Every structure is written in structure tokens, then in C-alpha cells.
Amino acid sequence: MMQVSMYLWYVRTHAGWHSSDTNSRFLAQSNNRGNAYGLRHKTLSNTSAAFWNFSFTEMAMFDLPANVQAVLSITGRSTLSYVGHSEGTMQAFIGFGNADLAAKVSVYVALSPVAYIGNITSTLLQIIAKLHTESIFEIFGANRFLPSETELSKLMPDVCHIRPQFCENVMCAIMGCDKQDWNQTRFEVYMSLVPSGTSVKNIVHFAQLVRSATYQQFDYGKDGNMKQYGQPTPPDFDISDLKVPVALFTGGHDDLADPKDVDRLLAVLPPKFVLQVHSEPSYSHLDPIWGLSAATQLYPLIIDIINAHLASQN
């Protein structure tokens, strides 16, 4: 069992946050397993193959419910609002089809929403997607993918200080970019933390979705699929079963959540649960969290959405 890893803040009401009953907010930020802050397990060593035998599927099925329950247990609330970005949305589109978990979430805000990625234009993932599964494991091993504490990551702040254009190009190749809306003075900090690591299996799963243009469970091969799922091909995730109201915030230049893939996602989501779709034409994948304009163009809208669903958060 992964240990729940998160930061929790108690914040007094200000700048649009309002609660008639408590006049305060708890803000919790969780970590995905396998990143630099999610390396603990109750029984497994993070040097073992068993520790790294996961993808976003396990995060959705086990980690997301554990994180939600941990926040509710600490705060004493019955429901919470969930704001996910990128892979955090992938987990939610899977997990919030579970009625028990969905009942604990009053509203879901999806930033740079990801599910289908067949039209992805990220240079790095396009290259990886062209490799066979066996080749990816052979190149990167079976455990951790690009940990943040590698010697390369330690050198990146200095590299970014000397050659900021190089760091910009690296991020653009991975995520797409909107350089005009990024704080250029923070690139040394960003590159010291990104990438923060995940499992190689998770990257293999991403590559599988790019090649197949589907949103499906991990492909273990015909024999492995029969053993795991009872069928020769991995089953699709049923996004149409989402049971939480969702607002989507998308970008017109998002290399990971391409507008065509977002349109496909919207066509599958149950219309009665789609509250709003807001698009920023110039935004890339990281702008909702890194963009200087996000504080004025996105966050007030998000706060309004959350406040509108506070009645059920008692």
C-alpha cells in the first residue's frame, strides 16, 4: 500500500473564497506515486520492481480514493472539490466513474484535460510511442523513468542559467509552450524539479494510448490480457460513466491535450455533468499552472465554480 503523500494548508477566506459556515478553506496538494515526493511504501522498497509496477490506472483505482479519503478524514468534511491537471485529470476521468468515490466529490475542475492522446504533438512522446514496448523497457529499464535527482537534473539549473533558450526548447519539446506567458526567471527552478520521475510502465502506457488512439487499460499482450482481463485486448475506460460535475479548461496550443482529442473526450462525457468548457487559444499544456495570466484569466472562474458547489461540502 502506498503511503498517502500530500501537503495540506488551512487558509483564511480572501480574494473571492467564501464559506458562510466556516469562513476558511483547506487546500490539499497530493503527489503522484513515483515522483520525487511519492517514493514511500508501507511494505515495498522503492528499489524493487514491485514498487514500480504501476501506471496511471493504479493511481486512479487506489491512490485517488486514498487521497480523497485522507483529506476528508483530516478536515471532517463529507465532500471536497477536486482540481486536476494533466495526468491528474486522467486519473479522475477513471476514478470518478466509481459511485462511492464520486459521492465524495462535489465538483471536478479539469485543467489541460487528458484522456485520448492519439493526436498528441509532444515531440518526446511521439518518439517514445514509435518504440515497441520491449524496446522502451530495454532502454529505460523496468523501474523508474527520469528521476529528478539524477546528475542531469542537478545540473539543469546551472544549464538554464547559462543557456535559458535550451531549457525553453526542452520544455517545448515535452509539453508545448507559450513562452510569452511564462516567468522566464523561474526556469532554473522549474528544470530542477521537472521531470520528477514516474514508472517506466506508466510511460509505456502513455505510448500505448498514442499508438492505439484509445483510452484503455494497460496492454500486457494477448496472453497477458487474457490472464488480466479475460479478453485478448485491454478494455477501454468508460468515460461516459463519469458521475461528478466537471468544468474543463483547455488550451489551443496544448501538445499533450490536443484540441481534437479534447473534442473527442467531450463527445463521450455525459452532457448533464459537463458544467463548462473554457478555452484559452494561446495556452499550452503548462499555462494553467505556470502561466502568468492564469491568475486573472482562469483562477477567478475556477473559484466561482467551486463556490457554486460549496453547499454540499459540509
pLDDT in tens, 246-273: 999 999 989 899 999 999 999 999 999 9
pLDDT along the chain (314 residues), means of 10: 45 42 70 85 91 95 94 92 95 96 96 95 80 71 64 52 63 68 76 76 92 95 97 97 97 93 97 96 91 93 91 56
SS (H, E, C) 139-204: HHCCCEECCCCCHHHHHHHHHHHHCHHHHHHHHHHHHCCCHHHCCHHHHHHHHHHCCCCEEHHHHH
Distance of alpha carbon 313 from alpha carbon 311, whole angstroms: 6
Question: Which three cell numbers mark 16?
Answer: 473571492
CB atoms within 10 A of CB 218: 21
Question: Which three cell numbers mark 118?
Answer: 492519439
Q: Name 164's Cβ contacts closer than 8 Å, sequence gap at least 6.
A: 184, 187
CB atoms within 10 A of CB 49: 12
Domain range 6-312, CATH class: alpha beta
pLDDT at 129 (0 to 100): 82
Map out the domains of the chain as residue ranges.
6-312
Distance of alpha carbon 96 from alpha carbon 79, whole angstroms: 13
Q: How far is CA 106 from CA 50, 72, 75, 217, 305, in A?
A: 34, 12, 15, 26, 10
Question: Strand 246-251 vs strand 105-111: parallel, antiparallel, or unpaired?
Answer: parallel
Q: How far is CA 8 from CA 30, 74, 86, 113, 177, in A?
A: 9, 9, 21, 24, 30
Q: Which residues pair with 277 in a beta bridge?
A: 248
pLDDT at 9 (0 to 100): 52
Nearest to 252 by CA among 278, 276, 283: 283
Question: Which three cell numbers mark 27?
Answer: 487546500
Residues marked active site are found at 86, 254, 285
CB atoms within 10 A of CB 280: 21
pLDDT at 4 (0 to 100): 42
